[in-house]
Chain A
């Protein structure tokens, strides 16, 4: 098994792959016109037990028709929600809805996180997912808008302004 055509998702996407096998070494990742080089990191978990093949991916399909909806289906179908929680709000894996990113939040960064995996158990999915599918996951994840005020969690009654001067000391 080199590539798993995942039965629960859009098998037709497999035909859309825009990639070439390459000899470019790991670490030479350059999102943009020259594309993304998917690297295989031996110390990562491989989804399905299949390591990604080194390859260059050019172009992005984040804006493809229905990419967000297809990505949402993939998020469940590829068991992403088992770690990141339904709606990607965070469970044993981190929240993907807070607008914060350990490894960068650009489309290419998120693509690489999914394709190559990350330390602490994020599996590499490029062995079982075609690049167009990964782009659709990126589209879904980027569609999850963070709440307006992430940094502050307050138990102060919203109707009661916080006291400005709590005493009558000499500093006032």
Chain B
């Protein structure tokens, strides 16, 4: 068996240059495939597939399921490329390739990289992985311990492996890379470990680091070049240093753990940066640029073109790592190349993605830390009673919580058919007691106690439809628990999402009527996808497997460690009645 495998491997290596020549260009994808984390460069998570409609969605039924053998939070989503489905598990980051042309979808291969188990204790919030990306005949993804790997999509052979991050510095790498032209764009988590946040551009063919750009620090490190960097609001040079006391920027956070998008016409990559560290804002007076920001860069050399900070001097852990969805919208009668972002801080921002000008910002959940966003300055109008820091003591009842009005881990979808965005939201508030903390390598850099409680809505969460041209909710499906899955929108006018208590649901994109639901075995924190099978039928796939922040928050869903038994969270005591940990891949189709 082993000998045969090795022979196959050898012949694959010999054939590799031939395969590379024959490979179709990355742009020529089957519309029924799902080749990148957010479906397309615009990050819409919208599929043109239309066989499943509100009229027939009640006939959805499971056709296949697979245990991943891991219990970490199953965030992210599978890929489907040319009748093969690719699944990356949470740590230890096994990559499975399933043959969708054969009965029972047997494995074509699996790839099991070595991953440093110490990364489990350096990752702030469970051993998650947010998925892989396809590029140039390779499946490319990050291992939790700070490596990016590229694996031959046909054979499973490792093409290259690059160390991009250092867990000794508090860096881990659960985010999903994006491939743009000859670059693989990656970033690191560690906003809870005092990292100096960055993104890197790797060479697609070799994996070598072509450029590194920090999110904070001097313009030279940030690749903010004179004449190229043109922010709409804050134009002073070196704000990445001058908006911090002393050298606190060196441990200032700004992790990159969310989703990236790309506009080919403007040639700009967009991503969000995370929270400043530590959580005790007194230790870093100033705006703390460019934490909690959107940054727009050139993929080729990483040059920063513009940046905008959603939450200056963040004292609430409002990471801006949520997706930047790139759509053309008519705002106040004018056609705009827009960027739409649902921030953790509770506001939805509609921006001009060419210039970084703010066009609209409206709360999509109950918000009380700021009354509004001033469109002239781009800055939030704060409620001084809700600003935090060790000197402020225990600040009560801040809405939303540091989990976000929507988590960046739960990306929205946009349907050009309805013109609406679909978002998983949370209705919770928090107390925030910051304390003095010291940076000690290899340990968290936080200084916070922040218990949550239910918000003013009667439910803890909702799945909503939202008009980003007006900043208004169109409909909402209320849920008993916070909603933590990503969204999927389809040409068939059906939207999909999952719940923490383990339901996978289909709803009418226009009305919000729930059309179908199925209990998938564990809470859903992953993102649904849809694809065309080898038989031409439309399929929908989703991970089950509660975790991520919910491993920390609802501790009594833990199931694999007899030496770790926890009480339920006060704000969601009933959750473990409906789910425990467990990793499953599900595929559904019409019966």
Contacts and interface: CB of A to CB of B under 8 A. Distances in A.
A8 B562 contact: no
Nearest to B568: A153
B562 A153 contact: no
Given A47-B440, A78-B440, A95-B565, A83 B555 contact: no
A94 B120 CA distance: 12
Given A49-B441, A82-B444, A101-B563, A93 B121 contact: yes
Interface in B548-583: 551-552, 555-556, 558, 561-568, 574, 576-577
A45 B118 contact: yes
B168 A49 contact: yes
A123 B565 contact: no
A2 B184 CA distance: 40
A45 B124 contact: no
B437 interface: yes
Interface of A: 4, 6-8, 43-49, 76-83, 85-86, 89-95, 98, 100-102, 119-123, 128, 147, 150-151, 153, 155
B567 A121 contact: no
A147 B565 CA distance: 10
Contacts of A86: 449
B563 A100 contact: yes
28 contacts: A6-B438, A47-B443, A49-B441, A76-B437, A78-B440, A79-B440, A79-B444, A79-B445, A79-B446, A82-B443, A82-B444, A83-B443, A90-B555, A90-B558, A90-B566, A92-B123, A92-B124, A92-B125, A94-B564, A95-B555, A100-B564, A100-B565, A101-B563, A121-B118, A122-B121, A123-B121, A128-B440, A155-B577
A123 B117 contact: no
A94 B121 contact: no
B403 interface: no
Contacts, number: 115
Given A7-B438, A120-B118, 4 more contacts: A8-B436, A79-B444, A120-B121, A123-B121
A42 B564 CA distance: 26
Contact of B552 (A6, A77, A79, A85): A85
B122 interface: yes
A44 to B, nearest CB: 7
B117 A120 contact: yes
A98 B561 CA distance: 12
A48 B552 CA distance: 24
Contact of A46 (B442, B574, B577): B442
Nearest to A127: B442
B438 A77 contact: yes
Interface in B102-128: 117-126
B457 to A, nearest CB: 24
**Contact count band on B:** 35 or more
A95 B120 contact: no
Contacts of A89: 555, 566-567
The B interface, classified by DSSP as helix, strand, loop or mixed, is: loop
B244 to A, nearest CB: 21
Contacts of A46: 441-442
Nearest to B194: A79
Contact of B118 (A44, A78, A81, A128): A44
A45 B118 CA distance: 7
B192 interface: yes
Contacts of A4: 440
Nearest to B574: A155
B564 A8 contact: no
A121 B122 contact: yes
Contact of B192 (A78, A82, A120, A153): A82
Contacts of A8: 436-438
Nearest to A44: B118
A43 B114 CA distance: 14
Contact of A121 (B121, B126, B574): B121
B442 A123 contact: yes
B120 A102 contact: no
Given A100-B564, A121-B118, A45 B442 contact: yes
B365 interface: no
Nearest to B555: A90
B435 interface: yes
Contacts of B446: 79, 82
A60 to B, nearest CB: 23
Contacts of A78: 440, 443
5 nearest A-B residue pairs (beta carbon): A121-B121, A82-B444, A94-B564, A79-B443, A100-B563
Contacts of A48: 440-443
Given A6-B438, A78-B440, A79-B437, A121 B120 contact: yes
Contact of A151 (B121, B124, B445, B565): B565
Nearest to B556: A153
A83 B444 contact: yes
Nearest to A79: B443
A43 B555 CA distance: 28
A89 B438 CA distance: 22
A147 B121 CA distance: 26
A4 B440 CA distance: 10
B568 A94 contact: no
A150 to B, nearest CB: 5
A72 to B, nearest CB: 12
A56 to B, nearest CB: 24
B442 A98 contact: no
Contacts of B562: 100
A120 B144 CA distance: 12
A11 to B, nearest CB: 13
A161 to B, nearest CB: 20
A80 to B, nearest CB: 8
B566 A95 contact: yes
Contact of A98 (B124, B443, B564): B564
Contacts of A82: 192, 443-446
Interface string B142-158: 00000000000000000
Contacts of A128: 440
Nearest to B126: A92
A130 to B, nearest CB: 15
A128 B438 CA distance: 13
A16 to B, nearest CB: 21
B275 to A, nearest CB: 14
Interface string B279-322: 00000000000000000000000000000000000000000000
